[in-house]
Chains A and B, each alone.
Chain A
């Protein structure tokens, strides 16, 4: 690629834009799936295990929004 700006659509521009669109979709899907699991009675530890991350990581990403969602959360040892 020279100094001329590439077209915003087609070729590599499409491939890169797809990454951005997929990232947004994955984030939305994770948010929705975590919310559904907690509504279905899953614990934070179970959600974390399913996602392959620590409970702390799931808390950090989701706790604040889940706290206002009205979902009754199970305690750790329930």
Chain B
């Protein structure tokens, strides 16, 4: 990972989650980590405030995995392709040695950062995993918003709850 932003510039929790997103991509044989891999990484940290918020709407790690599959199946159906077309296909996949940051994860981090700055938190080392979740929820289009929409998740309500955990909020969680 030697792209424009450096996970090392963030605090430990955020750094670990970003590297988790890269691992989620690599496990799927992909050399580019996208926003959906960040969503999986956040969901995997079930004890973190962001992970707990996601779990409350059914987006624990298995829940996200299922919801992402549903999104892809519905997208295939738009093109008239039966999702079962992928059933039974077997291919050896190797985890790539590195994963680069894709456009959607960069956009999510940028939006989460802007939101944190807007609330007066400019130091990247003080950003929390919940800021990453906020960034995902601020995406307008693409796989992650489609996944939330098809799963019936009220992303505006989830965004409000995530923002309410920010330092200074009455619901703030210092571990957030």
Answer yes or no: do A and B interact.
yes
| Majority SS at the chain A contact face | helix
Chain A residues with Cβ under 8 A from B146's Cβ?
8-9, 13, 17
> Can you list, as one digit per residue, whether each of A1-31 has a CB less than 8 Å from chain B (1) or not (0)?
0000111110001110111111011001101
Q: Is B149 engaged at the interface, CB distance under 8 Å to the other chain?
A: yes
Bitwise interface map of A from 27 to 44 toward B, beta carbon under 8 Å scored 1, else 0: 011011001000000000
**Interface SS of chain B:** helix
Contact of B92 among A14, A21, A29, A35 (CB under 8 A): A35
A21 vs B89: C-alpha distance in the bound complex, in angstroms?
A: 15
Number of cross-chain contacts by CB at 8 Å = 70
- Give the interface size class of chain B: 20 to 34
Q: Point out the residues of chain A lying under 8 angstroms from B118, CB to CB.
A: none
What 0/1 pattern do residues 3 to 45 of B give for CB contact below 8 A with A? 0000000000000000000000000000000000000000000
| Interface-central residue, B85, B86, B91, B149, by most chain A CB under 10 Å | B91
Chain A to chain B: the 3 pairs with minimum beta-carbon distance, closest first: A31-B91, A5-B140, A8-B145
A-B contact pairs, 19 of them (CB 8 A): A8-B140, A8-B141, A8-B142, A9-B149, A13-B146, A20-B75, A21-B72, A21-B75, A22-B81, A25-B76, A28-B86, A29-B89, A31-B91, A31-B93, A32-B91, A35-B92, A64-B94, A65-B92, A65-B93
Q: Which residues of B contact A (CB under 8 A)?
A: 71-72, 75-76, 78-79, 81, 85-86, 89-94, 140-143, 145-146, 148-150
